[in-house]
A and B are shown apart, each in its own frame.
Chain A
Amino acid sequence: MTPTTGVKVRIQGLSKAFHTNGHEIRVLENIDLDVRDGELVCILGPSGCGKSTLLNIVGGFLPASSGEVTIDGSPVSEPDPRRIFVFQERGVFPWLTVEGNIGFGISGLPPKQKAARIAHYVRLVGLEGFETAYPQELSGGMKQRVEVARALAVNPDVLYLDEPFGALDSITRLIMRSELLRIWEAEKKTILFVTHDIEESCQLADRVVVLSARPGSIRRVVDVDLPHPRDLSSPRYLALRDSILEEIGLAHRI
């Protein structure tokens, strides 16, 4: 995607500290980041670096200690159905069927329109035939698709994904990545994607934001100027991946 469009999400001077038993734990420090409309940005960092906290603040679930997040120019203060947060597959409602989950956010629509919208997203995420199944009857990957479909059904302009494929096996994870790219290209959403997986970030993102260990701050922003679908054995891809590995301080030899 070419960055010709304007800024969608702007994070300015954002810091976050938690207070427990009189101790202050600094989690995020002075984060500045602009995410352009329609861009897929991966936030990459080691476990515990505060990347999930960052996403929760951007999503309006947590207040920032200082600094500000604005979307389309207006500050974020609470969760908003125009920006949907996709948790790991734990986020699906186990008491609703696949249809019930996908239709959860569009209960205000007339029944016919709602049914059509549900059918569309069931198809988009490839869950035809499972409309009336309950989540406990589905595999982890399928639950994740339900959650993505539930998010897309309300037609949000931003999606927040918090290590969405972290709990899946490696084959399903690869499939889900290409599905996400296909959906992203079809639906033109702005996506903020948190991960601790370097390969994943290089495969998906327009830009990779590398965070340092706690307190998390931005170490580097890497432009991944490779067109999709990406050739995972091309020298350019490998060079980018290796530069991020080095940035994080890992030699890629085991």
Chain B
Amino acid sequence: MHAIEVRNLVKRFGEFTAVKGVTFDVDEGEVFGLLGPNGAGKSTLIRMLTTLMAPTSGTATVNGFDIARQADSVRRSIGVIPQAMTSDTELSVRENLLIYAKLYGVPRERRNRLIPELIEAVELTQWADQQVMKLSGGMRRRVEIARGLVHEPRLFFLDEPTTGLDPVSRVAVWEMLRRIKKERSLTILITTHYMDEADRLCDHIAIVDHGELKALDSPIRLKASIPGKNVLEVSFVSAPADWQARLEALPHVEGVTERDSVFRIATDNGPVTTQALLEAASGAGVTVRSLSVQSTTLDDVFVHYTGRALRDALQEAPTHDFSFITRR
């Protein structure tokens, strides 16, 4: 059985379509990642699935409940960590969990057992009675994770859980999520714009851009689905006009793209192509300025399916800012 089934889900804000007929399934027990830049439609999608927003058209079921017709049952069966920090900073870690346990109607005996257990699971026992405002960003995220699990949901939604955290805190959150998922047999749907996060955490990744699903598979298969096992990034002091065509003719090369005078050469045999490249450059009197050989990354996958690098997409301001609409 699928934990989530999404069929042709559409969300329009006036003339703008934020989510354009997305279809996918999430299996029980897996970590499913929605990968894309800001404004790609990831948060809108997660808000529809968590009943915070009504879809314009299409259907979706979460834990077998229809998001439009059985919203309350959906809410009871899921844990949600929204993108914004939603813990009460004036309250302590324990109080935050207590209030949410009550909001979910968790009986007293169960919450008395669960709250200390969850605080320990997110390694905050020492700070249990500390006000959240006195904790670091990473610790606050851990409070939110514990809070989202206070009613023992089967399915956990996390909207960019590590945005704004330093690299050390990010890794700590990943490890915690992996451990909690294993201990509690959770299904997790996570949105992120961090390639390494998606690569390390997710069983399946859906690449989302401009409200569309561009690709969906496991990280390994996604990487295997694009040309080349390796990518050579090389720049030259003065490359002749037909240089790209000559690079494409090198052995094992499956594709060459050029941007800002940097050539990205996809190859299924990095060492052989590198050797041939250096010989070709030497023979043509072209000086190599820089050269690096990498394995295919999710960034390459993103470039392949969307035509742009994720780091570039992240720097682009979203064309439509819906924060003012979604908060109404």
Do A and B pair up? The answer is no
